[in-house]
Structure 1
Amino acid sequence: MPDSALKRAAFARGRGHSVYVGRQPILDRDGALTAYELLFRDSPDNRARVHDDVQATAHVVARTVGELGVPAVLGPHPGYVNMSRELLFDDIVHIMEPERFVLELLENITFDEALFKRCAQLRDAGFRLALDDVARLDDPLLAALPSVDIVKVDFLAADHAQLPELAAAVKRRGKLLVAEKVETRDDFAKAKRLGFDLFQGYFFARPQVLSARRASPARGSLLRLMAVLSGEHGMRELEAELKRNPDIVVQLMRLANSSAQTRGRRVSSLREAIAATGTRQLMRWTQLLLYADGRGLPWRSDPLLQLVGTRARFMELAADLLRPGDEAFSDAAFMTGIFSLVHVVLDMQLAEILDKLELTAEIRAAILEGAGPLGALLGIARAAERGDAPAIDASRGALPALDVLTPLMLAKLQFDAAAWFAEHRMEPSLDDA
């Protein structure tokens, strides 16, 4: 097609315009990450000002597939992409791998014979199709159901008194049922009772969605190990502490053998693993293990682990931009990001946890009060995760030096942080460890 969406996207990119690729997680009934919806933005400040659905989607697909790369944006998970009627007939569809992308049919699409035929062609090609923003059980929905695989029900717009009938009708027809715009714990519980398979919404972007878990002995071991790593202890003390925790040693060995420094050779001793990984990197992954421990979820599928890992890396990158070469400040920023969510996994008050970890007053004040440069960076990180532009502006206004964190730079840091987590996550064999 001479005026295809892809060509328009390429033309706009050539003029210096781009669309930031946002991601919203889609979780299963156990809280494991199973997919992302790719979010469309018309500027790098992550504000949703989309005036042309076709061009916005074309930008996102072109950037995901051709510039950033599908593995970096989606990891091992599929991506849900909004598709207008025009896009369903456009050549943009054919640059997406059917096994990696789910095509979401926007709610304003009218089904007719031409569209029914096109849906059949796309499904024959291996694509899964999803109906987006379904709010009621009506004749148009019943007519469309045979042509799709997935139904996404809008929990904000739907009449909750009619949800049981709607969910039952969809499930009877063998369709995957997704609850979207889930805002409250009650909505999540109701959706599970009604048999929904997958879940999406701001509620899941907040750590409190994850069920409370009592601290396990392994977490105590991790806290002791962090104390050794952060002190003036030598290799002998570090080895001794690690040997008390065989599970951590197993993970350390796998981490060391997956690192770039050991490609082509195997690390076989604990001392070699420590040397290959480095105490700084070991400290970081020990911190992350606080979130992974005891969850019963694979490393790459734990949304809380991904959130804390990308937040900490985002803050570290931003700190390095503010104070180039100041490794202590960058490390403090990373730790601030890590421990800003530690109360989610430990059965303790946040202030009590921070006291036990013996964190610096600067990090403690940043987490508890939002004070100082680290507190401002934490505020920006939290706001960026929500796409809350006014809150980002408010945090940037706290310190003149933060002016360097422009919307374009924040978008880049968010992507770089997510790519770092995807690249440095543990090997697949570690997932079941």
Structure 2
Amino acid sequence: MTVADTASMLIARQPIVDKRRAVFGYELFDRSHPGQAHTPAHDVALVFSALAHTGSEALVGQFAIFVKSTHNSLAGGHLDLVQPERLVLEIEGIAGDAPAEIDAHSHALLGLRKRGFRLAFSQQVLDPAYASWQPLADFIKMDLAAIDPMQLPKLIQAAQTRTGARLIAEKTETAAQYEQLAGYGVELFQGYWFAKPDLIKTRLLPPSQANVIQLINLVRNQASTDEIEQVLKKDAMLGFNLMRLINSSGFGLTREITSFRQAVMLLGLKKLFRWAALLLTTAAGGAASPVVGSTAVVRGRLMELLAAESMSPEECDAAFVVGVFSLLDTMLGMPMEQAVGLLTLQPPIVDALLHGNGPYADLLALAQACETGDAESFRRATAALHLTERQVSLAHLDALAWADALVE
């Protein structure tokens, strides 16, 4: 999730991923006033206002944008603010499935398609009453929380027979659901299945992950430069990434660093640990979606920025580590307790990761609340830290930009 601030505006995003677990697009929604209910009409106006002020690149990069829309909102001039081919309008059904109203809106929806907008509907569009809308569907979102699992095959077959739409399994919560739906031909998924895998008792770490963890432990234990150098020498990609970092323009060095020893000494243990923690989120061989690593990095940076309001620099560093490692179980494919046991971490960090308490617990709860549509959890977490919505909004946008810059 990410947020953008424009005149106290809080816009959240949720990824939609494909079968390779790569991001296909983002659904945007408004959470500017956590204690209040929102209607799609209010959401769509605020979302388009955010796009007008910040630009879609700041919110979603080059990916597709999904926005819930009421029929009344579709006539607004905000549709002129974005490129039609980038936008997917999520169209609501008609109250009572009134045939006259359904047919009346068909012409407007067809006009949107001709302008280049793509349309998404819920599984409701498969009802016979919506036959005139079915040829207009580019996407059909199957809400798994609202569908009897026994009816899924029938609904999916109906969607594939009656429409040319791509199916999105919304509220996919487990890897088992993903496997089943992918087997039925569903191509896209939205939910937290990538962050909640089926955990196994033991798992061998791929070489790159194992080497990064070894490096982290050596740094935390203040090992000698010689010991650290040996880990870098045995992993070509690990060494390459360090040399690329130390020789980047951001360091402003006047000469190129060519040895691991020089790189370690110039970087210092504190920065080396931070770099290794980030690297673990993208280490090759993990079974987790790339979105998981990105989410972890955004969490870490967000927690660090918000911690700066009341904590020391050392505590801000620890808050960053908590955020980055908060999805460690997913990244390594093992229970969190087992994952944390692989690393040498300070007790307050461990308390936050394993027990949800200690000085960093509220920050972690807020970072997690920013990734969901749970307005009440967001309100509680913000209040517990005595922060304003504007502070959180600006920090989250900063965290997103910072995380995106790491992979450019």
Residue in structure 2 matched with residue 6 of structure 1 by the alignment: none
Contact 1:155 1:187 in 2 (8 A): no
Deviation at 1:254, TM superposition (A): 4.6
1:140-191 per-residue CA deviation (whole Å, 9 max, x = no partner) reads 3332121221111222223443332321232233221111133455543332
Which structure ranks higher in relative contact order (CA pairs < 8 Å, sequence separation ≥ 6)? 2
Residue in structure 1 matched with residue 128 of structure 2 by the alignment: 139
Residue in structure 2 matched with residue 89 of structure 1 by the alignment: 75
Deviation at 1:330, TM superposition (A): 0.9
Residue in structure 2 matched with residue 321 of structure 1 by the alignment: 309
Residue in structure 1 matched with residue 295 of structure 2 by the alignment: 307
Residue in structure 2 matched with residue 362 of structure 1 by the alignment: 348
Residue in structure 2 matched with residue 421 of structure 1 by the alignment: 403
Alpha-carbon distance between aligned partners in 2 of 1:198 and 1:41, rounded to the nearest angstrom: 24
1:303-333 per-residue CA deviation (whole Å, 9 max, x = no partner) reads 111221111111111111112xx22111111
Q: Which runs of 5+ in 2 are unaligned?
A: 1-5, 96-100
Residue in structure 1 matched with residue 48 of structure 2 by the alignment: 61
Task: State the TM-score, normalizing by the size of structure 2.
Answer: 0.83
Residue in structure 2 matched with residue 154 of structure 1 by the alignment: 143
Q: Aligned pair in 2 of structure 1 residues 221, 420: CA closer, same or farther (>3 Å)?
A: same
Alpha-carbon distance between aligned partners in 2 of 1:27 and 1:295, rounded to the nearest angstrom: 19
Alpha-carbon distance between aligned partners in 1 of 2:208 and 2:140, rounded to the nearest angstrom: 41
Residue in structure 1 matched with residue 115 of structure 2 by the alignment: 125
Residue in structure 2 matched with residue 100 of structure 1 by the alignment: 86
Residue 246, structure 1, aligned to residue 236, structure 2: yes
Contact 2:18 2:188 in 1 (8 A): yes
Which of 358, 376, 398 aligns to 1:372? It is: 358
Contact 1:107 1:134 in 2 (8 A): no
Residue in structure 2 matched with residue 10 of structure 1 by the alignment: none
Residue in structure 1 matched with residue 3 of structure 2 by the alignment: none
Q: Aligned pair in 2 of structure 1 residues 366, 249: CA closer, same or farther (>3 Å)?
A: same
Contact 1:21 1:60 in 2 (8 A): yes
Q: How does 1:345-356 map to 2 (within 5 A)?
A: 345-346=331-332, 349-356=335-342
Deviation at 1:122, TM superposition (A): 3.1
Alpha-carbon distance between aligned partners in 2 of 1:257 and 1:121, rounded to the nearest angstrom: 53
Which of 89, 102, 112 aligns to 2:103? It is: 112
Deviation at 1:235, TM superposition (A): 5.4
Tell me the amino acid that sits aligned with residue 69 of structure 1.
G
Alpha-carbon distance between aligned partners in 1 of 2:15 and 2:250, rounded to the nearest angstrom: 29
1:253-283 per-residue CA deviation (whole Å, 9 max, x = no partner) reads 45556664569x9967355866897765543
Alpha-carbon distance between aligned partners in 2 of 1:276 and 1:26, rounded to the nearest angstrom: 41
Q: Which runs of 5+ in 1 are unaligned?
A: 1-12, 428-433
Deviation at 1:194, TM superposition (A): 1.8
Residue in structure 2 matched with residue 24 of structure 1 by the alignment: 14
SS in 1 for 2:208: helix
Alpha-carbon distance between aligned partners in 2 of 1:397 and 1:200, rounded to the nearest angstrom: 29
Tell me the amino acid that sits aligned with residue 190 of structure 2.
Q
Residue in structure 1 matched with residue 217 of structure 2 by the alignment: 227
Deviation at 1:234, TM superposition (A): 6.1
Residue in structure 1 matched with residue 38 of structure 2 by the alignment: 50
SS in 2 for 1:209: coil
Q: Aligned pair in 2 of structure 1 residues 148, 255: CA closer, same or farther (>3 Å)?
A: farther
Task: State the TM-score, normalizing by the size of structure 1.
Answer: 0.79
Deviation at 1:57, TM superposition (A): 1.0
Which of 368, 383, 387 aligns to 1:382? It is: 368
Identity of aligned residues (%): 31
1:213-263 per-residue CA deviation (whole Å, 9 max, x = no partner) reads 641122221012123433545655544432221011233345556664569
